[in-house]
Structure 1
Amino acid sequence: MQDASIRTVLGLDFKEMGNRNITEAGKLALNPEDSQRPIFLLHLGTKANILFDSGIRTIGELSERMLSDGHSLARLSGIGEATIQLTRRRLAAVDKAQRADGFVDWDDFAVKAGLVLTPSSAVGSGAAFLSALPEVYEHIKETRGNELSRRVLSDRLLVGDRRSSTMEEIGDQSASPVTRERVRQLQRGLQKELSNALLDDTYGANPLHFRTSFVEYWKLIRRELVKGAANTSLKFIGLGLAELLSVKYGDLEPHMPFIALVIFSDRSRQTILWEIFGDQA
């Protein structure tokens, strides 16, 4: 494929790039690790599910498809020109975020893609991880345009060791009252969305992108917490986690409910979820 054709399909500024990240096969020269990352890391929204189901599951596969026959994506049901243009912009941001060693700086990708990167500073210790959480909580809420979602986050998921509102109260006090079941569904969806992003690099349409060093601490916590027994209490888990992070349990304790909700989003620790919420989670 000629350079002009590649430029047309992907929309990259080749004069600026000097063709340095395009292989002779006509695709981004990603290192194997980044090439195998899931397409959900690109913040393509629900359309990523369509691409995934069609067999385009990694960033490497997506870049190859876009550079070889990008317009063929439009033949997929549910994929239109807006999605193709967004994909072009995301892949261009990936290219521009590649370091000299060939690896992608995913924090830089978020900035170049116009996403909201949180926390604002890199995390290099357990104490820094805890210090970053309040800022992250605010960013999570700020990137929600829906009042009901913000209320569920503020009163159910992003608070300390006591829930400040029941699901019934949130539903009844909404500008347009909704049922307890609707609040429960929304809560489960938000919980799963945060867990997917923090633990599995899986993002939807929300513009919030978690800093790589912050995510690495979440993955460390998951490796340790999943070893715990099914009936272990939240405090017992927190004491072990405080030791792992080299922080005081008193500093960690207010954040334990949120940490547990993210790690156990698959409901594998029902006793812990009941301990957090008191009502049905």
Structure 2
Amino acid sequence: MIDVALGAMDFGTRVDEATSFRLLDCFVERGGEWIDTANCYSFWADASGVGGQSEEVIGRWLTSRPQLSDRVRISTKVRQQPTTPHVWPESAEGLSAEAIQSAARASLQRLRREHVDLYWAHAEDRGVPLQETVEALAALCADGQVGRLGASNHAVWRVERARHLATDRGLTGFTALQYRHSYLFPRPWAPLPDAGHMLLTPEGLDYATSEDLELWFYTPLLHGSYVRDDRPFPEVYDHPGTTKRLTALDRVARETGRTRNQVVLAWLSALAPHVRPIVGVSTVSQLEEAMDTTDLAIETRHLLDEAI
């Protein structure tokens, strides 16, 4: 089984609480460990115009299943929560020390936990001195609210600078990176249809591998486009390279008896030593498909790698 994280972005909004509970139960029963969310999920899908719905559902699930508390790890994020309902990104909380401290307290309250295992800076905030952000995040680790730190949607040079600041001051720094990544690539320089998303670059992959950092990939299955005719690939993926890679993907799927989704997840999981795709699902069957993914043989991976 590939080590996937359960993406809980839609829990409490597009995915109702009863379904969310079933998915969480199934994930743990199948051996899943990491649940990924954010304090801002999903403000755009809730009438309140602010986030917190996903964390609240997870918190209620954890409270109702105390026997599972030690079997799961929680990953959540700070940066994008609107401070004014329906006003984003203008009112996003940012990464000031005050914002980080307040957001962490609120996340823990919603999750009904005393600490989270991995806390992400959801995106950069260049309006705040990087040293202030680094020190505020490290303080959460020092007082036991947070286990580890990660950087999501950050330029590699900013990650390196932040890690240097932390090391120089003897503080806890980033040990995980999170980017959008899948088997298909959009056209170079084309803007993505999802605001705030940042793609993994070859430099980012090299940096994570060289520094022994975990890599988490979101939107790995492109919102179901690999397997659903009613969800065509976004226009930015319409180029000759996509045709070549889909041909290779279909060949490998046929030869291995797996679905496109499973082949994509297996390919992603072998890109670096520590990789965790985040899978967002709305049905148990979708989750079981992802959990049934296994490793690809080296010769099979070559077919996918060479389709450029």
Higher-Rg member (1/2): 1
Structure with bigger strand share is: 2
Q: Answer whether TM exceeds 0.5 for this pair.
A: no
Structure with bigger helix share is: 1
Q: TM-score, normalised by structure 2?
A: 0.25
